[in-house]
Amino acid sequence: MRQKELKLVMTFHTTSDAMAFEKQCKTDGAPGRMIPVPRAITAGCGLSWCASPDDKGALLNVIRKLSLSNTDLYQCMV
Amino acid sequence: MIYLDNAATTQTKPEEVINAVVDAMHRLGNAGRGAHGASLGASRTVFDTRVLLQEFFGAEDPRCMVFTANSTESLNIAIKGVLSKGDHVIATVLDHNSVLRPVYSLEEQGIEHSFINADPMGNPVYEDFEKLIRPNTKAIVCTHGSNVTGNLVDIKRVGEIAHRHGLIFIVDASQTAGVFPINVKEMGIDILCFTGHKGLLGPQGTGGMYVRNGVDVKPLLHGGTGVQSYNEHQPSEMPTKLEAGTLNGHGIAGLDAALRYINRYGMTSIREKEESLMKRFYEGVKSIPDVRIYGDFSSFHRCGIVSLNIGDYDSSEVSDELFTRFGVATRPGAHCAPLMHKAMGTEEQGVVRFSFSHFNSEAEIDEAIKAVNILATE
């Protein structure tokens, strides 16, 4: 297994929200990719967006643009 | 075969719809069940289709669009999800069993119902909606177009009545979605139920519903969602709340292609072709002796349906002759709309329904007219 790195991870309550977020990130050129939600955050499955902690501003812009309320941001080793 | 049973399902699908399903079956995993390429591919397809449907029906948010297997599932979710013990619901005699049976089934739970009658032309008696509203009335359920006569219902008018009285307005668009413009905001629709395999030209097993933000619909099914796995309850967020279990990703890929086809071809062009074929058929059969046509033909702005009987002949016999001798596929009987037939007095005889697609040709219509003429006069 590769070495873990500190990442910014954003979680969603539904797959639909995750897809809306991914689509907007692609449109806006916001960096990152979808990964399974790390167990350090929840064991409850689902998708999360993984990016560098430096990209927090760009991701918050996407959240604001979509008016997503059910998202949480974490910093964790991924 | 001359296929004139498009109100049951559109048999001819755009080639791109078929290709999209095949491609999806080669390529897609399970939507919302992982972050690998196959699963994400399915999730993206499902979401793209959700956005297309949102735009197609003028909804406020893609999360308002829920995928189901068909209109029947959508209507069951809607009717059973908004009504509770002690409520009253109003439906119409134009409605299909996909509305009537859920409504009847709720009698046992102490949920009352009333039905709006039809006038002699088969249109709902609009004046009766307000007369039937009671203090405990919660919702009005109404079809947008009769699957028996093809008559359209003035949905905006009924929506205004519903909202004037604070009622939830549920619309069955099984016969109209894809052919007639539907804007849920302009028409005052709180819940829109549609199927993918008729006018929307998608595969069977696809369908869906629009649920306005703020309308609380209890889930009919509880199960896997790919998210919140340790939550003992169905997630409360839309659309996941109403989408338990694996979605029909392959079918939805076909529906996606079908929506793009309709957007490209133009809904107006599709409707004008269907109306033109319907008019040609109507004009061709209306003067044949012993042919009786049902429904309101004062305007041809109606679903592409002409239902008729020949004398006292059983509609099943006529339909069978049409197919076995002339290769014309029609639908006889009651069309799962018993109250409409009671209103028209056709419970015993049924009617023979001819229903048209923009893929039909004028030559096919002329063959069908010729066949009716022969059966009626020989």
Q: Tell me the pLDDT tens digit for each residue of B86-122.
A: 999 999 999 999 999 999 999 999 999 999 999 999 9
Q: Which residues pair with B90 in a beta bridge?
A: B114, B140
Whether residue A44 has pLDDT greater than 90? no
Average pLDDT over residues B126-147: 98
Three-class SS of residue B166? coil
pLDDT band at B147 (very low <50, low <70, confident <90, very high): very high
Using pLDDT thresholds of 50, 70 and 90, give the confidence band for residue A52. Answer: very high
Residue A40 in this model has a pLDDT that exceeds 90: no
Confidence (pLDDT) at B220: 98
Contact assignment for B62 to A20 by CB distance below 8 Å = yes
| Distance to chain B for A70, nearest Cα, Å | 9
Query: What DSSP state is assigned to residue A68?
Result: -
Q: Which residues of B touch A45 (CB under 8 A)?
A: 226-229
Does the distance separating the beta carbons of A43 and B227 come in below 8 Å?
A: no
Q: Is B47 on the interface with A (CB under 8 A)?
A: yes
Please tell me the total count of domains within chain A.
1
Residue B96's SS3 state is coil
Structural domains of chain B, with CATH: 15-265 (3.40.640.10), 266-377 (3.90.1150.10)
Contact (Cβ atoms closer than 8 angstroms) between residue A59 and residue A32: yes
The answer as to whether A49 is a domain residue is: yes
Q: What is the pLDDT of residue A69?
A: 84
CATH at residue A52: 3.30.70.260
CB B316 within 8 A of CB B325: no
Compare CB distances from B35 to A23, A35, A70 and report the shortest one's residue: A35
Q: Which two tokens stand for residue A41?
A: 């955050």
Q: How many residues does chain A have?
A: 78
A63-67, B16-20, B127-131: which range is least confident on average? A63-67
Write the burial class of residue B132 (CB in 10 Å: 0-12 exposed, 13-18 middle, 19+ buried). middle
Q: At what angle do helices A15-28 and B37-57 cross, to 10 degrees?
A: 90
d(CA B11, CA B105): 32
What are B171's strand-pairing partners?
A: B142, B192
**AA letter at B92:** T
Q: Which residues of A touch B54 (CB under 8 A)?
A: none
Domain with A61, as residue range(s), is: 6-77
CB nearest to A45's CB, from B31, B227, B239: B227
DSSP A71: E
Pick from B186, B193, B180: nearest CA to B305: B180
Q: Cβ of B231 under 8 Å from any chain A Cβ?
A: yes
**Cis amide linkage into residue A36, ω under 30° from 0:** no
Phi-psi map region of B38: left, alpha, beta (phi>0 left; psi -120 to 50 alpha): alpha
**Residue A44 is assigned to a structural domain of this protein:** yes
For residue A36, tell me if it sits in a domain.
Answer: yes
**The residue to which tokens 């070495």 are assigned:** A3
Express as a percent the part of chain B with pLDDT over 70: 100
CB contact under 8 A, A47 and B35: yes
Q: Rounded to 5 degrees, what are φ and ψ at A75?
A: -115, 125
pLDDT tens digits, residue range B170-227?
Answer: 999 999 999 999 999 999 999 999 999 999 999 999 999 999 999 999 999 999 999 9
Confidence check: pLDDT of A43 > 80: no
Cβ-nearest to A16 among B228, B229, B240: B240
Mean pLDDT value across chain B: 97
Could you tell me the two tokens for B191?
């819940």
Note whether B293 and B344 are within 8 A (CB): no
| Host H or E run for residue B168 | strand B168-172
Of B50, B264, B257, give the one whose Cα is nearest residue A14: B50
Going from the C-alpha of B262 to that of each of B23, B202, B356, the distances in angstroms are 20, 10, 16
Report residue B228 as tokens.
Answer: 């919140």
What type of residue sits at position B183? N
| Residue A1 within any structural domain of the chain | no
**Is there a domain that residue A46 lies in?**
yes
Residues of chain B contacting A67 with CB distance shorter than 8 Å: none
On whether the CB atoms of residues B179 and B199 are closer than 8 A, the answer is: yes
pLDDT over 90 at A45, yes or no: no
* Residues ≥6 apart with Cβ < 8 Å to B306: B150, B278, B281, B282, B285, B293, B295, B353, B354, B355
Place of tokens 């979680």: A11
> What average pLDDT does range B130-140 have in this prediction?
98
